[in-house]
Amino acid sequence: MFNLASNLFFPSPGRGGFPSLLSATCGIGCLLLLAHTHPARAAEVLSVPRETRDLSFAHEVQRAIDKGLHWLATHQEPDGHWSTADHPAITALALIAFRGDPAKRHAPADPILERGYTFLLDSVRPDGSIHRERGLISYNTSLGILALLAADDPRHEPILRKARAYLVGLQSDFGEPGRLDSRFDGGIGYGPGDPHEHSDMSNTLLALEALHHTRHLAQSDTAEAAPELDWQAAIHFLERCQNLPGHNPLEWVSEHPEDRGGFVYSPDESKAGAVTNEVTGKVSLRSYGSISYAGLLSYIYARLERDDPRVEAVFDWLRSNYTLDENPGMGAQGLFYYYHTMAKALATAEVDTFELTDGRAVDWRKELALNLINLQKADGSWINTHGRWWERDPALVTAYGVIALEWIHRGL
């Protein structure tokens, strides 16, 4: 197993600040367990231990975090939400950013958090979902769960249990019940009202993250057994989004070395498009960066071993396509989601120095932090020049930037 231990939301100085992938039986916000050691091959190929902590650079990162949080603090709406009242997911991301501040834990009495959590709790529906009746139900519910978990408040346990059960109920089973007879089985989509009505990697990752970090709620002693996700079915879905011959039997799987191991958005679509073989006419879907980091994280939450060939394959793709200049395969589209997911994935996998396929040894934390610091505006916010996936919304993108830097800071 991945050697991951510590609390998801509250970074602390020094090494070891990563969430446990083992089940927790403690209360809300505990999530602290010791895990097994890395296989030797993973340590040799993927990561080189950091020798010393660069305190000066940690202070630089902290200053950028402080500026980002200041911008968020001064752009909260009076009712507690950020950006839009229609989608509490953005407010949830901002709350996660505040709760993950490595300088200090914001006390529950902080008025910024009080307003934000009041708005989020007002978004809880009787069926357990967390949304404002504007669609994107699983997206809003998953991030709402993570924000409530970050609050570390035992009063939220009943809400979290019900929200968790709601998410479990969204797992797709399109053919005969209980059988993996559809390529979309096992994943999670946007939920009721979604016109596409099928699973995708983005929503599946968020749901798996929320469900992974609330496993302790399903495992605690209660009078009524809590429903649990079919994790093997989830792995079935993940496999069918990965460009990996031998593991993914679907017709679109690419035979191009540059795609091998990477991920696509869903089992019938890549946001990076497709390539047609001029000789055979075969249409292959292209792997791309942000969703490949999402694939790595999803495999981790599904408890695959570090030396599993599916995990090794996505690591190989990421090592071959490492860049901060763009979201590989997508250019500027989704660039800050890419940075956010990269930071979370590499930190969770406890990669320190990233050994790339071209022989370079990259201090990804320092490179990504410097890149984010250079992109931060004078007022502390971030924004993408490309508006796809809401990335012209400074509240969303600033939350992405702050959370990425917090993941980086805990590993400096």
User: Model confidence over 80-128: pLDDT tens digits?
Assistant: 999 999 999 999 999 999 999 876 555 556 899 999 999 999 999 999 9
Q: Rounded mean pLDDT of 251-260?
A: 94
Are 59 and 368 spatial neighbours (Cβ–Cβ below 8 Å)?
Answer: no
Q: Over 60: is that where the pLDDT of 355 sits? A: yes
Please tell me which residue, 49 or 242, carries the higher pLDDT value. 242
Contact 132, 81 (CB under 8 A): no
Contact 362, 356 (CB under 8 A): yes
User: How confident is the model over 256-275, as a mean pLDDT?
Assistant: 96
The overall average pLDDT reported for the chain is 86
**What pLDDT shows up at residue 310?**
98
Weakest-pLDDT range from 225-229, 348-352, 379-383: 225-229
Measured in whole angstroms, the distance separating CA 292 from the mean position of its chain's CA atoms is 11
* CA–CA distance, 351 with 411 (Å, rounded to integer): 10
Say if residues 401 and 68 touch (Cβ distance below 8 Å): yes
Entry field: residues in the chain: 412
Name the pTM for this structure: 0.88
Residues 6+ positions from 75 with CB-CB distance below 8 Å = 82, 394, 395
CA distance 202 to 146: 15
**Could you tell me the pLDDT band of residue 39, with boundaries at 50, 70 and 90?**
very low
CA distance 187 to 262: 17
**Per-residue pLDDT averaged across 4-29, rounded?**
35
Residue 178 confidence (pLDDT): 75
Residue closest to 90 by CA, chosen among 151, 150, 131, 126: 131
Query: Quick one: tokens of 252?
Result: 């679109």
